[in-house]
Structure 1
């Protein structure tokens, strides 16, 4: 009984960590809006979108990374799906672009986007049927994948934290060395100025 209770609690906890990004926004005529997210490399991403239709108006969408590489693109969409795999850790963005003819008065359109990535993209019902898994085994497989994904995310976060700490330490050392160098430069300039003024005053016979 205690094991079953612990399994239920862990299942609920892991399920709470699953995030399905769903957002709705209005897009003005002849403008564009983008959704951005940082993702690790080799992560599958799937999404669905729906655009409120307005006669004569068109909406295009394009998915790119920070280098401008196009991962998915379609023109004149109303609803549909998209999918792509991330190549490296990067900032990815999904942009929706409105096009309205010049002779037509544009109307604001509503865009709804739902995205999933990583383990969230897997269909465990299909996988369970292919592997002849029972419902409990299928759920355990899903929780195992989720646990591995969470562990990988924490490992990645720790790696990023270590890199940031190393960068901070390196920056602090450079600032320290630069400060010491600046102090020696200032001391040298002060000594040179004193000696120069002393020679100048001696030349003018103001001091002996």
Structure 2
């Protein structure tokens, strides 16, 4: 029983959902894009992500959202126009190691003057990796017992932690190679600088010695 309790506790601690709730003020159509609000979450390559958005009530306001990453290719994963109170649930797999950015704009309808009273509440939930899997369907398909299902969840979480550690290990090795290469270049640059300074100093001494001899200032 102690082992079972420990496993269940670890699975509960390892599995979490990132939830954010905020108010988004409405802006005229001419400035709504500049007043947009963005949230970011770093996600590894080929990871399943589910973004669930709930939008509160708002009169004559249109909430749009866009999901993309900050990689060089700027992969765009989803766009939704006029997300109403029914909300939206968007699922996708990431294409690269990057931060997933979710941006919201709240556009005020034409003919309405902007004031602080126009705003809508945005509720965003991130389900990433193991969190995004539908374990109810898995349990039904494979006929798993509750304990076996918790072990499956824990196995997935541990695998993600292992993959993250491997990624960090590669990053550390890459940074170490970069540091060693930089140190080697600095050493070569220092050696060339010292050689140039010594050569220039020797040439100056010899030039001044010849100059003073021509002027008969020294023997």
Q: 1:120 to 1:179 in 2, by over 3 A?
A: same
Q: Select between 155-164 and 77-86 the one with higher mean Cα deviation.
A: 155-164
Match of 1:9 in 2: 6
Match of 1:61 in 2: 65
Asked if the contact 1:46–1:116 (Cα under 8 Å) also holds between the matched residues in 2, the reply is yes
Structure 1 gaps of 5+ residues are none
Alignment of 1:44-193 (within 5 A): 44-66=48-70, 67-78=73-84, 79-101=87-109, 103=111, 104-106=113-115, 107-193=118-204
| TM-fit CA distance, 1:102 | 6.5
Count how many residue pairs are aligned between Structure 1 and Structure 2.
205
Q: CA RMSD in A?
A: 2.1
> Residues 193 and 112 of structure 1: is their aligned pair in 2 closer, same or farther, counting only changes over 3 Å?
farther
From 202, 207, 211, give the equivalent of 1:196.
Answer: 207
Whole-angstrom distance in 1 between the partners of 2:154 and 2:88: 29
Q: TM-score, normalised by structure 2?
A: 0.83
| Matched residue SS, 1:136 | helix
- Whether contact under 8 Å (1:60, 1:96) holds in the other structure is yes
Question: Post-superposition shift, 1:13?
Answer: 2.5
Gaps of 5+ in 2: none
Q: Take 1:39 and 1:198, find their aligned partners in 2: how far apart are those partners?
A: 68
